Structure 1
């Protein structure tokens, strides 16, 4: 049997020749051992009843440094930082910090604090596009895992975001999550070991699940609901609403029914993420909030009571970017966005202008006599579809004009709902990029009308050249300017045919070394992701995309400019497109002079003599943008936008009596000539103003400005002290690499590792390539790899520095465990001691224990009056002493051995140091528990005696 003292959590033991720390175990016969400085993946489970004699667990402790460990004091800080940076279980209130590969911004901790205030986490996080909702969610995830609150989780997201989430979890949390969707299930099932009760949902603890895979079906949804993981995170939650205003079956409705069933379990942890929680319809907004708390569905958000405001504010957070850019006096490097209009004219290209006039004439002349109102409206939709296609590009116009599928389609009954909403005006959450040919086909056009369309199609195909298309020529010229400056643009188009056409033109117009690709919904999610990743390898690249990429997917690390080739008829789509690159994590771009630029250039192409473009841009988009810039709130017109746009389209295009009044000789819109347009202007302005007031009211309540930065600042500072901040990491990697003989060179944006003469373990940990460009910055500059504290190279570097220091046989090139030197920094003999301290943190209410580690500096001065202890701040100041002057080796050994003789008498002081530190931690946990309203109490139990990692004696320089 093993001695009971060797089974206590936090105890340092030796097993099979390796130094380990005993971890808490729920099974009294199972001993969990974690290699000192190792990761959770290296944990060893020892079943005590079958433990062999030669496998015995032995008591262990760090040997005190002796004179053989004497070395240069300039490397002492390396040992201190190596230990700090290797810690994964920290002692402070935020348990997750040691497990993160990044340092979160202070404002990103607010949702975490909100989550910890709840017994069961239920949150709707609706921060602005590009603020970092993914990071905010994974902070909550990691914290709940570390506290033992959850043991499993699932991220529900649209299928095209699965790989992105899997990568975020791997890169930032070192969590290997499986993707569950139709293409992966078979492979996952083959790996399941066990009986027939196991399936992908209860076998794998960490999952990224396609919401479309589990939203329906007789087996998939029930299987998931039977074994819902402890925490569910829902990304793009606005696509999972139910419509309370009128019942209608939709994809969103199916997703909502799934979430509604998940949320019914009152013990289920649930986090919803969306940048657009309010679509303009109160019912959909309430349905989202109803998932976190069913009471919220009955609230009148235009007239909330104080009690209701407080209740909702506890579970809903929505902040604009400008409100958090300097939160906690911490500069957050959001890029600066500049937007400019890029006007072109159809009339300057006579052939294209003639085609446009012919299509307009056809649209106005479609015969609607003697048919029902519904069928007449479908013909109207078909006319609009044709006009929009021709306005987008001659290629899209050709696709629509020449296709005829009605002969092979079955008759489709047209419902009242379908003709009420104009399908040509995209919904606020719609990402369709098809040419909507089915609408034209269902318009029941006559043979003469089809013959006319076929003739127009031939005219359109003749215009697909840069010489005859002013729009594509102007767009190509802008793209060329960006490429020459060193930028990587995205061109957003409305239709598949337009995207393919623009990409083809650009390939002939731009140099051959520019990688140009068109990505549309014709490609699968996997194919889109692969093509984008391939493009990242090309120094010069242009992505031509449809709105299938305008939502959710992050492109900021690969692209930094946007050209809106087609104006969306829903203004919310502009912000969603630009949010793909204008977001936290945008690394910027290097111009031709080698200067790093942190700007996002946006150009908006519009036809000056295209009445629809002018109305959309001048009356709707510019009004919304002005209000958003001045008020700081996002405005969603939602489906009300369809009715407004419908009126605009009718007024401008399909009223032949007013055609002459709408245009001057230059075909430019003159709003002063139409009383109806003036009325529309007023109606749109009122609509926008109503949306603004609603958004402003919601944001003012739920921005959580009541959480004061000072309440977070102290805990963040303590975390940085315990595990090292970014500056600590950078200084350590450079100094430790140099000590071990690596060749590191500073370059603009970061550093370069040259693998010449580098040890094999270092070269392997850095990855492939002879020269490795790396940076400690987040966002990381383009072309550099991010080196965070949990990177494999940093972990191994820390372990190697510590191991070399403890190796008494090793001579030179190691961090000093002991040093004696002269310095001007002290006036009397002073001793510094590096303690490696372990604490067992116990959460009483859950009987959950965790072993944490931290470095603690302690020191004392020897004076004729006695020994005086130093503060932690003074010790850190002395540790950074750079003017260390050598003294003879013999003299060092004499002084050091004499100092070690004091240690026996100082043993009670060492115990008191650790006890005082544990009391400080208790106070910190108590303060934090009080702050988050927690009733549970956490005990901090020090593991004694503390390990002594280093001892350093500072001798004052003799005064001359």
Structure 2
């Protein structure tokens, strides 16, 4: 036989037909096929008879008929199966018989060689015929159901992917709502501290699970690029994101095609040469803009004035069908600017957006807003409550007051010198601002900075600051500021002599530092007197202050009692420091590097702010390390300040004024609760340029400064009020939104894993940590299937436990072991396609499950749901009965019932009608029904 024309051997259970010499036709299923070199012999079990015979393949043709159920078994070992499908029709082309198969799971209809197809009995066929399955059919039915339910819940929320966070209900529901809408163009405007980064990461994880996220562009402020990269890597294991201009550069526009997961600074991309190349980068599946309120377009009469940043976003809009904007303050009291953002998202609805004042309800389709005051944990308990903030006032010495007066004189001269130089003098003004912030932090911080400045002048060193602060990670701005390389020439005549005086005074102050003494004697000692084992989180903006405090604490309480976190430490070292703090150390001193991204609520509830950040937003973020989900104690925050110095007097004034505005706004809310105070604080703080106010204080005087603060806060108050009124129409967390869906929890994940371990012979050798940590042993068959040599493993489904134990394998839906378990449970050979269930499902005589799918107007899949239909004996159908979700959590027992084909057909027809109603109910302008795939059916004893 010519090797080039060697025929394909039909797989076992392929359906064939044969026309005999007398013209009669018979059909049957292939039992086996043997290639003998010159001929292929096929053994066929002929349909409708007990006859089995062996005939040459050359006498056989395709025997598949429309509506037969088949499984694709590829001849190539490297090609994955297309799964199960339904025959639509057959054809002969080029002398080959082919079958058109609809594969609902893949969403494809393909012409395939009939020889690769195996006839199977699907769940509908088995249910109608009354096939009750093997002895353990109920348990296999349960595990198959769990496998599909877990995958679909993750695909619709991203909450079961590899996350180093415990997603909260409002985060899960936000992602679910956006994906369920069928449109990915949304403005996420959650309150500060509710985790927009986490929500974005979960959205990306869900889209990756759907295999619909090949290229992503994240556009952020310059100082946040590294933060985003860290968050996506360490919280979501998305290490593929690279920073444009840092991790890679583009020499030719065509090189953009090499990068699919990109983070870039909006101010870099807006430059003409970068934007021009980016426009040739091709399309993006999703573009995300962080801090989208920086995309400004204002309207003056009939004229539109768009910033370069807005123009960047408008240009990129042409390169994607999906754009997400992130900002807690999108309105800012400017209706035209807010409308411009909505037009970016939904240009097709421009006319409606133009008349937003008349129909504000339209933002419910475009804006999602969660408030801290409303969010709860999985049990419905409010997450954010129980916080006390206390001011710890320190009376400073006469020497400190004298030093402050000398420093103010130095600052005034520096600002004046900078102003005299115009634009070129901005650098001097910046240095003065840094010095006053250092002085407000600690005498050690300003002392070190002044010495460095004097050394710079005496050595006449050259060079500029190595770090561009505009490009620096904004979390660590203070740390970069204190390392600032200043000019090597005097800012003003006599600067060197004034520096000498300041340094001498600072040295004397370090020997009698009242702030440090008060901190140790009145605060720390008092805390430990109540509980000697109490842990305390301490924040300072500067590393020099951090080192100063560490030295003082260890001198009094012993070596090893202090751990540190700062921006110079890589993530692994930060994690180790946190682990030591939670296990043995008593104090953790952190710069703003710990203001985001670390969660310490399980073992600590007391925080001390040794210095108050000039940006009140940083204070909100610091407190969020303890005041978050999982905190069992009332959080106590101590803010230390010295109102006897000029700058700290202004800071106190600013914070007290903010508190008054927040109290005014919160007090008029009909739904007031204590957390509303923090919601509004976040919004107001974002609208106040604190640095500018404080810079002017040196030259303008205290009265003018007070006036500036009041003016800024009046604007912030009006903007916040308008924003709240408008956002009453935005979409928000609604626990009833998923009432018709099968809701999956961590209990379902654990039930699935334990059940599959039992099915596959995976032993649980030992458990610890209250049953959350398992020592397991894999049988050889599983090791071979996974391609691993080691049999023993330590695994958990607890995210927090996995974070703190680097060698523990986390069984989330990105785990290779979990993927294997899911694959096995969903496979046809696992069965569970039909069963008899004993108990646990009241009011249901039968249960039939299906995957329902929707697509967009271009045939691309946009949504899937795993849906269970509980059918009463009279044919009434309930969608996703609550009892089914509970039944899935426990091992199932197989029962016994008498089945009737006619009744089975009626019940299945009722399930099909209910599925069709569900498809219609969810469909909208963006979602169109695609298909329904029946997974399994069972009778209830």
Distance 2:411 2:861 in 1: 73
Structure 1 gap ranges (5+):
190-195, 247-251, 413-422, 589-596, 653-675, 808-814, 862-866, 886-891, 955-960
Give SS of 2:193's match.
coil
String of CA shifts for 1:302-327, please: whole Å, max 9, x gaps: xx863363455543344421033489
Distance 2:639 2:767 in 1: 42
Contact 2:852 2:867 in 1 (8 A): no
Distance 2:833 2:321 in 1: 51
String of CA shifts for 1:347-368, please: whole Å, max 9, x gaps: 2xx6655544543566678897
Q: Could you say which residue in structure 2 is the equivalent of 1:810?
A: none
Q: 1:125 aligned to 2:188?
A: yes
Q: 1:339 aligned to 2:389?
A: yes
Contact 1:840 1:852 in 2 (8 A): yes
String of CA shifts for 1:719-763, please: whole Å, max 9, x gaps: 32xxx4333334444566578542464746x62323489989699
Q: Could you say which residue in structure 1 is the equivalent of 2:747?
A: 727
Q: Could you say which residue in structure 2 is the equivalent of 1:660?
A: none
Distance 2:809 2:647 in 1: 46
Q: Aligned runs of 1:287-306 on 2, under 5 Å?
A: 291-292=344-345, 306=357
Give the Å deviation of 1:24: 11
Contact 1:280 1:640 in 2 (8 A): no
| Aligned residue among 882, 899, 916 for 2:910 | 916
Contact 1:103 1:725 in 2 (8 A): no
Give SS of 2:549's match.
helix
CA 1:913/1:743 → structure 2, altered by over 3 Å: closer, same or farther?
Answer: farther
Give SS of 2:613's match.
coil
CA 1:104/1:498 → structure 2, altered by over 3 Å: closer, same or farther?
Answer: closer
Q: Could you say which residue in structure 2 is the equivalent of 1:83?
A: 144
CA 1:786/1:354 → structure 2, altered by over 3 Å: closer, same or farther?
Answer: farther
Contact 1:805 1:817 in 2 (8 A): no
Give the Å deviation of 1:61: 3.6
CA 1:161/1:122 → structure 2, altered by over 3 Å: closer, same or farther?
Answer: same
| Aligned residue among 300, 307, 323 for 2:374 | 323
Distance 1:87 1:122 in 2: 28
| Aligned residue among 764, 785, 800 for 1:742 | 764
Contact 1:381 1:439 in 2 (8 A): no
Give SS of 1:322's match.
coil
Q: Could you say which residue in structure 1 is the equivalent of 2:506?
A: 460
CA 1:781/1:293 → structure 2, altered by over 3 Å: closer, same or farther?
Answer: same
Distance 1:788 1:315 in 2: 31
Q: 1:450 aligned to 2:450?
A: no
Give the Å deviation of 1:271: 0.5
Structure 2 gap ranges (5+):
1-7, 9-13, 15-61, 301-305, 670-675
| Aligned residue among 927, 931, 934 for 1:940 | 931
String of CA shifts for 1:484-515, please: whole Å, max 9, x gaps: 77776654333443344334444555544446
Q: Greater CA deviation, 220-229 or 637-646?
A: 637-646
Distance 1:276 1:434 in 2: 27
Contact 1:475 1:565 in 2 (8 A): no
Distance 2:489 2:297 in 1: 27
Q: 1:21 aligned to 2:86?
A: no
Q: 1:269 aligned to 2:335?
A: no
Q: 1:210 aligned to 2:264?
A: yes
Distance 1:262 1:884 in 2: 53
Q: Could you say which residue in structure 2 is the equivalent of 1:109?
A: 173
Q: Could you say which residue in structure 2 is the equivalent of 1:662?
A: none
Q: Could you say which residue in structure 2 is the equivalent of 1:474?
A: 519
String of CA shifts for 1:912-934, please: whole Å, max 9, x gaps: 444432332332232222xxx52
Contact 2:102 2:110 in 1 (8 A): no
Give SS of 2:389's match.
strand
Give SS of 2:192's match.
coil
Q: Greater CA deviation, 133-142 or 481-490?
A: 481-490
Contact 2:688 2:712 in 1 (8 A): no
Q: Could you say which residue in structure 2 is the equivalent of 1:134?
A: 197
Distance 1:298 1:726 in 2: 45
Contact 2:742 2:867 in 1 (8 A): no
Aligned residues: 819
Q: Could you say which residue in structure 2 is the equivalent of 1:603?
A: 638
Q: Greater CA deviation, 691-700 or 106-115?
A: 106-115
TM-score, scaled relative to structure 1:
0.67
Give the Å deviation of 1:628: 6.3
Q: 1:494 aligned to 2:534?
A: no
Q: Aligned runs of 1:458-607 on 2, under 5 Å?
A: 458-461=504-507, 464=510, 468=513, 470-471=515-516, 474=519, 490-506=537-553, 508-514=555-561, 516-520=563-567, 523=568, 528-538=570-580, 539-540=583-584, 544-547=589-592, 550=595, 553=597, 555=599, 562-579=607-624, 582-583=627-628, 586-588=629-631, 597=632, 599-607=634-642
Q: Could you say which residue in structure 1 is the equivalent of 2:446?
A: 397
Q: Could you say which residue in structure 2 is the equivalent of 1:594?
A: none
Give the Å deviation of 1:439: 7.5
Give the Å deviation of 1:800: 6.2
Distance 1:824 1:372 in 2: 83
Q: 1:359 aligned to 2:407?
A: yes
Contact 1:13 1:60 in 2 (8 A): no
Distance 1:469 1:9 in 2: 86
Q: Could you say which residue in structure 2 is the equivalent of 1:669?
A: none
Q: Could you say which residue in structure 1 is the equivalent of 2:673?
A: none
Q: Greater CA deviation, 699-708 or 481-490?
A: 481-490
RMSD over equivalenced CA pairs, Å: 6.1
Q: Could you say which residue in structure 2 is the equivalent of 1:57?
A: 117
Give SS of 2:694's match.
helix
Q: Aligned runs of 1:136-175 on 2, under 5 Å?
A: 136-138=199-201, 141=204, 152-157=215-220, 158-167=224-233, 170=236
Contact 2:436 2:647 in 1 (8 A): no
Give the Å deviation of 1:13: 4.3
Contact 1:278 1:285 in 2 (8 A): yes
CA 1:78/1:883 → structure 2, altered by over 3 Å: closer, same or farther?
Answer: closer
Distance 1:515 1:9 in 2: 70
TM-score, scaled relative to structure 2:
0.68
Give the Å deviation of 1:479: 6.6
Give the Å deviation of 1:451: 2.0
String of CA shifts for 1:662-697, please: whole Å, max 9, x gaps: xxxxxxxxxxxxxx64x8656634542431222121
Q: Could you say which residue in structure 2 is the equivalent of 1:70?
A: 135
Q: Could you say which residue in structure 2 is the equivalent of 1:928?
A: 922
Q: 1:224 aligned to 2:249?
A: no
Distance 2:417 2:74 in 1: 91
Distance 2:325 2:485 in 1: 35
Give SS of 1:847's match.
coil
